Amino acid sequence: MTKLLGVILLTSLVFSDITLPDHFSADFTQIITNTKKKVINYSGKVYFSDSTLFKWSYLKPTKKEVCTDGSELLVVDHDLEQVSAYYMSKGLDISKVLSKAKLHNKNIYVAEFEGKKYTIQLDDEAKLHSIAYYDELDNKVQIVFENMQYGKGKLASQKMKCDYPVAYDVIRG
């Protein structure tokens, strides 16, 4: 669920003073710290192409892909040879997040939405650097982006799809 929230969160990152490009790709590290201070690190590559198309390719500690087209979310777990498909009935309301985002410090923005506080940091080139928030289980989630590449136009839709063998089990939720 934390990964799902991260995907949905990124769909909302067009704050009043933060402008995302038409598309971007980056390496990411996702650090999740639970209430007992146990830390789990994930890493991989993320692709964004407009507000509805995202793809997270997790490489460590397990190989997973998370893709969305704005209405359906696919989670492909290559270790389990399983695909979970969800229809997204509710995402973040971008206009409400935009209206609540405030510059906190030089390159740090804070937004509150539906009872959650999000901290967004930009790098010196005003590119997305990190996002931090607490998930529904009070885990601290921090996503750090490196090698951020901004671009114009949409990425090819084929690049944004989760590919998996037909032999994988598919679970619809």
pLDDT score recorded for residue 11? 44
pLDDT score recorded for residue 14? 44
Please give the backbone phi and psi of residue 7, each rounded to the nearest 5 degrees, phi first: -65, -50
Q: Mean pLDDT in the chain? A: 82
pLDDT score recorded for residue 18? 64
Q: How many percent of the chain have pLDDT more than 70?
A: 79
pLDDT score recorded for residue 121? 87
Position 1, amino acid: M
pLDDT tops 90 at residue 54: no
In this prediction, residues 94-121 reach a mean pLDDT of 76
pLDDT score recorded for residue 46? 92
* C-alpha pair distances (Å), 16 with each of 8, 96, 145: 18, 11, 20
Domains and CATH numbers, the chain: 2-172 (2.50.20.10)
In this prediction, residues 48-71 reach a mean pLDDT of 86
pLDDT tops 70 at residue 61: yes
The percent of the chain in helix, strand and coil, each rounded to the nearest 5, is 10, 50, 40
State CA 118 to chain mean position distance.
Answer: 13
